[in-house]
Amino acid sequence: MIRLLLLALLVLNLQAKERVVTIFIPISTLQEFQFFKAFKVLYDYMQKSFIEIDDSLRDPDDPNGRIPLPALNQATGDYTDASIPLAKSVAKQIPLFKEFKPKNQREELFLAHVKDMAMLHSIDIMDTSPTEKLTPLAHIFLNANTWLYAPLFNAHKAGLDVIAYLGQLHRIFSKKQVGVGNIVGFNMARLDEKNLKNIVPHKSFRKRLVQDMYIADTPTNIFCGEYGFWVSLVLNTIFNGGIPPDSIADAYEFSDFIDKNAQRIDPEHLFDLYTARVIPLERNAPFYDRLRNDNPKILKDTLKDHPTMCLSPKYLSPQSKQTCQQLFQSQTYNAKDIQEQVQLVRLLSIDDTPYVYLDPKDKLQVFKSDNAICQALQKMKF
């Protein structure tokens, strides 16, 4: 009954003048309903703005002509201020964020910054995907935030000090450069397979892997400072017009400005959290294709050499999961692979469930778990 009521309310809220617009969005909770409602308001505003900006700048005698950047800058700037409160409403309604319970004022500031970054991301994902339909775009946005934050937020529930953890990551990653070359290669191969209509089989675990590889490579570029045009103007508003106009127009100059103001834009070092989430996918991207046909020997050899793949069972077939169990029970896997990863990312989870982390003194801390692989890893020396 409640589900039907929510769907009815959604239809009522999607009326366009006298015409009812029906949109099919799977809603299972009130929180999801509130999120999709806020997301649609921002989506509709952005779509309407794209059309109005284009109509106001296009020469009717030359509709395919190039629009001068200063004119586009000015026209778009007239719309960006109104997009900020709408995007903040989207970030406020993300169910995962609502579940995070700050334990003190410092963690309240952390959560506020997480929402600020999600606000920028919500605008950027619409600006870079203006032709994407509402429902898939909303799910891409939610999936990206879940992929990025769920392991950290679950560890916070289990007692992790998120502020100290991010500080540790920053000390490590400020001295390292981590690329996504293997992830990009994986995504390009999937694109080639799609064009050839030769994707090896569409199983749920494979789809989840492809989805997260895409998320790591594309929608969350906002966390790498690769801001789109609209977000550049939004940041200019936040900086009270402090970004030089030439910097907004020039990608290199704007990137330099962002680098110099990184502490103000990203004071909680969420960029480093993004890097920590990318590392496991980047390390294992070249090996997932070896598992696709479930050849027993290939499975065993690959997972034995790269057991960190076993920490993401959502990407593995039942046969691969069984092989992982056997390897960990017999303790016949490459422990160095896992040791290197925990030294880098400092928090290890099985999918989104945390099991060990290194504290600021590099002492291994464990989370209570009934998972056999988790229990085996908690006995390892890091």
What would the pLDDT profile of 312-352 be if each residue is shown by its tens digit?
999 999 999 999 999 998 989 999 999 999 999 999 999 99
Long-range contacts (CB closer than 8 Å, 24 or more residues apart) made by 333-340: 333/303, 333/304, 333/307, 334/304, 334/305, 334/306, 334/307, 335/307, 335/380, 337/305, 337/306, 337/307, 337/308, 338/307, 338/308, 338/311, 338/377, 338/380, 339/380, 339/382
What single string gives the DSSP state of each residue in 29-78?
SHHHHHHHHHHHHHHHHHHHHHHHHHHHHSBTTBTTSPPPHHHHHHHHHH
Q: What is the pTM of this model?
A: 0.87
Find residue 356's DSSP bridge partners.
Answer: 348, 366
- The tokens describing 292, both together, are 């696709």
pLDDT band at 381 (very low <50, low <70, confident <90, very high): low
Backbone angles phi, psi at 173, to 5 degrees: -80, -15
Domain-ending residue, one of 246, 277, 308: 277
In terms of residue numbers, what domain contains 326? Answer: 293-377
Same domain assignment for residues 254 and 366: no
Q: What is the pLDDT of residues 104-144, one digit of tens each?
A: 999 999 999 999 999 999 999 999 888 899 999 999 999 99
| Contact residues for 60 (Cβ-Cβ < 8 A; gap 6+) | none
pLDDT in tens, 180-225: 899 999 998 888 777 666 555 568 898 899 999 999 987 777 777 7
Do 128 and 227 have their domain in common? yes
Residues 175-214: b if buried by 16+ CB within 10 A, e if exposed: eeeeebebbbebbeebeeeeeeeeeeeeeebbebbbbbbb
Same domain (yes/no): 319, 180: no
- Give the whole-angstrom CA distance, residue 284 versus residue 153: 24
Which structure tokens are listed for 241?
């017009």
Q: Residue 136, exposed/middle/buried by CB under 10 A (0-12, 13-18, 19+)? A: exposed
Residue 8 lies in a domain: no
Residue 258 pLDDT > 60: yes
Q: Classify residue 272: in a domain, yes or no.
A: yes
Radius of gyration from C-alpha coordinates of the chain = 23
Lowest mean pLDDT among 50-59, 151-160, 207-216: 50-59
Name residue 20's beta-bridge partners. Answer: 15
- d(CA 352, CA 332) in angstroms, rounded, equals 25
Q: Is residue 127 part of a domain?
A: yes
In a domain, 317, yes or no: yes
> Residue 80 above 70 pLDDT?
yes
Predicted confidence (pLDDT) at residue 249 exceeds the cutoff of 80:
no
Mark whether 77 and 185 lie in a shared domain.
Answer: yes
**pLDDT-wise least confident of 37-46, 228-237, 246-255, 357-366:** 246-255
- Higher-confidence residue: 179 or 295? 295
Together in a domain, 342 and 246: no
Whether the pLDDT of residue 23 is over 50: the answer is: no
Query: Same domain for 50 and 161?
Result: yes
Confidence of residue 18 (pLDDT cuts 50, 70, 90): very low
Q: 118 and 70 in one domain?
A: yes
Is residue 2 helix, strand or coil?
Answer: helix
Asked whether residue 235 falls in the same domain as residue 94, the answer is yes
Residue with the bigger pLDDT between 382 and 105: it is 105
Identify whether residues 309 and 342 lie together within a single domain.
yes
Question: Are residue 174 and residue 319 in the same domain, yes or no?
Answer: no
Q: How many domains does the chain have?
A: 2
Residue 252's pLDDT band (cuts 50, 70, 90): confident
- Structural domain contains residue 2: no
pLDDT of residue 6: 38
Domain termination residue (choose one: 226, 251, 277): 277
Judge if 269 and 328 occupy the same domain.
Answer: no
Indicate whether 270 and 321 sit together in one domain.
no
71's CB contacts (< 8 A; 6+ apart) are 57
For residue 37, is pLDDT > 60? yes
Residue 5, domain member (yes or no):
no
State in Å, rounded, how far the first CA of the chain is from the last one: 52
Q: Which amino acid is at 148?
A: L
Does 126 reside within a domain? yes
Q: Parallel, antiparallel, or unpaired: how do β-strands 347-350 and 364-366 relate?
A: unpaired
Q: Pick the last residue of a domain from 231, 247, 277.
A: 277
pLDDT at 267 over 70: yes
Q: Is residue 363 part of a domain?
A: yes
Structure confidence at residue 198 (pLDDT): 58
Give the angle 176-180-184 at the CA atoms, nearest 5°: 170
The pLDDT assigned to 61 comes to 67
Q: How far is CA 239 from CA 82, 114, 117, 234, in A?
A: 16, 18, 15, 9
Least confident residue range of 153-162, 280-289, 354-363: 354-363
Give 350's strand partners.
353
